[in-house]
Every structure is written in structure tokens, then in C-alpha cells.
A and B are shown apart, each in its own frame.
Chain A
Amino acid sequence: MARRILVTSGKGGVGKTTICVNLGKALTKLNKKVLLIDLDFGLNNLDVVMGVENKIVYDIFDIMEGKCRVEQAIIEDFANDNLFILPTNRTYCPVINSKDISEIVNLVDDKYDYILIDCPAGMDDGFARGVNICNEAIVVVTPHISSVRDADKIIVKLEEFGVSLTGLVINRARGDLILQGDMLGINTIVDYLALPLYGILPEDDEVGIQILVGGNLNKLSQSFTAYKMLARRIAYGESEIFDCTARYKGFIGGIRQKLRKHV
């Protein structure tokens, strides 16, 4: 049976879709077979971030409408063996409930090690559809007050829905600002949200470049390393977490920090 993990957040635009794709890719490097499912109906972007938007023939609604089998709708990634996506591709979406989705996911559950669910921000229908088919969740936050506040509410909801294992990922952390004291500290966020910290992902231009071309992260980038650690943490429970402040420490780091501030 696959581990089914809901990637969720209170606030929109904090990086859920990006994290689904890159965590999925990092897990395949650990020889895990991963399926990504887009439950952000109508505002789907998982296909674009993965760079497979031109490969979509059928989507999750076609399965529901009996136009195809599940296997026909699932697309394999170009660049990564063992990474698959079940897309959604409609502007106007028919009504769909958790039971329908659950039946589809059950059909393929035993073929994957991980199923990562990209769900819309907030606590509306999309969240409910996702949370009903998952027993694990990742709550994504950025180091901003509004994002942490909304995450606090989502965590309560996850508990209400009986999600048994939830971890926190802090995205877009800027080591230079944290060191200067110009951004909420990591410990503050973890203390307030009281969830195990799964990972820290740095603010990184590389992420934007990756989405532009629809490929993989540069192996020399900070993000690549951070995602590798995140995947190992989730798959093996390893404790190493990316330190976004490291490159701004020491003599060279100090210069880098000053430069970043003035550019």
C-alpha cells in the first residue's frame, strides 16, 4: 500500500504544487515509485510544473465519466523513471466527491510507494476531498505571519479529519534575512505550529527557472540539496534538515549576505 500524503496549506501560493513535484522527484531518486495527483480542480498547475501539459490525453474526470481506465490517464514523467501524474485538465469541473476519488485511488494504490496529493489552498471542498483519502499530510508555510496563521487553522482541521501523521515544511526561507532578524525565525514557526519539522526549503531563483522550462532542478542548487534531505526525512526518518543560513555565515557568507541585501 502506498503512503498517501496530502500537501496542503492554509494560504495560497506558498509552494504546494512545486513541493509535490520536487519532493516526488527526490523520492524517485531513493528508488521509490511515486504518483502525483492533482486535486486542484479548475486551477490545476501540477502538469505545467512537471512539464507534461502537452502529454495529457485523459484526466481524472474522464475516468469518472467512464471514458478511460485509470492507467490510461496516468502520465509518466519525461525525465524521471518512477514518477507519474494523474492530472486534471478542465476549466469547468463536474461535481466530484471524496468517494469517487477514493475509488480511483484504491485502484492504483498498490502500484506505488508514495501518492502525493496536490490540493487547493484553504479548507473548502478541495481540501475535504483530499483529506478524506489521506492519512498523512505535509503542511506548507512560508515564513510570513499570514501564512503561519492560516496554517494553524488547517492543522486543527487535519486533526478533526483524523490525519494521523502531519509534518511541517517551511518554504521560501531566506537565510540572510533570518540571520539579520528581518524574517520570522524557524524556531518561532515550529514552536507556534507545534508540528514535527520535515524540512526547510530556501527561496531560490532556480525554482522559477525550473518551472519555466518544465525540467529538473539543477543538481548544484540549494533547492536540490534541500529536497534531497526532505525526501530522506520522509522516507527514512533521517534527521538532517537543510540549513538555509549556512551560506551566509563566515567571512565569505558575510560578504554574500551584504551583497544580497544591496542587489
Chain B
Amino acid sequence: MKNELQIVGERRLKNVLTIDKNNNPDKIKGVILSEIINVLNNYMNVTKGDIDFDVAINDKGGYTLKLFVDVRHLKLANHIL
């Protein structure tokens, strides 16, 4: 059974973990995005503008990565192989 103290404690823990992770997200985001673009370009022609990418802190104090890509065509199989 959780009481008031435990709830406060858990909230504070979540808070510090979130603050720590929030310290440097933009740099990390940029690096991950450029790697993703490299990988995706094996299968489709995409640029930064086609991608909606975000790294958010989730309520477990970890990260959730969101990635939406609008693309008209996938490359044909013989281009990939």
C-alpha cells in the first residue's frame, strides 16, 4: 500500500531522472536523426524535412522516440539488393 510519503518520493525520483536526461537532448537528437536518415536512404529518398522526429522523456524516466516519415515511394528491391 502506497502512502503519501512514498508517492512524494517516487515523484521526486522521477523528477531528478527527468532533469538529468533533459540536460542534453538536442545534441543527442541531432546525432540520432542524422543516423536514421542514413539508414532510411537505403530504402527511400528522404531528407530532414520529410521526417518528424522527437526524443521525449517518458513517465518512467526513460526516453520515447517518435518517428513519422512521409514518403511517396520505396526504392525497388533490386536497388536495395
Contacts and interface: CB of A to CB of B under 8 A. Distances in A.
Partners in one complex: yes
Interface of A: 145, 148-149, 152-153, 179-185, 188, 191-192, 194
How large, as a class, is the contact surface on chain B?
10 to 19
B60 A181 contact: no
Contacts of B9: 145, 183-184
Nearest to B61: A192
Given A185-B2, A192-B14, A192-B62, 8 more contacts: A145-B16, A148-B13, A182-B5, A183-B6, A183-B9, A184-B9, A184-B13, A185-B6
A184 B61 contact: no
Contact of A145 (B2, B5, B13): B13
Contacts of B12: 145
B13 A180 contact: no
Provide the main secondary structure of the chain A interface: helix
A180 B20 CA distance: 29
B3 interface: yes
A182 B6 CA distance: 6
Contacts of B5: 181-182
Contact of B1 (A148, A152, A181, A183): A181
A191 B6 CA distance: 15
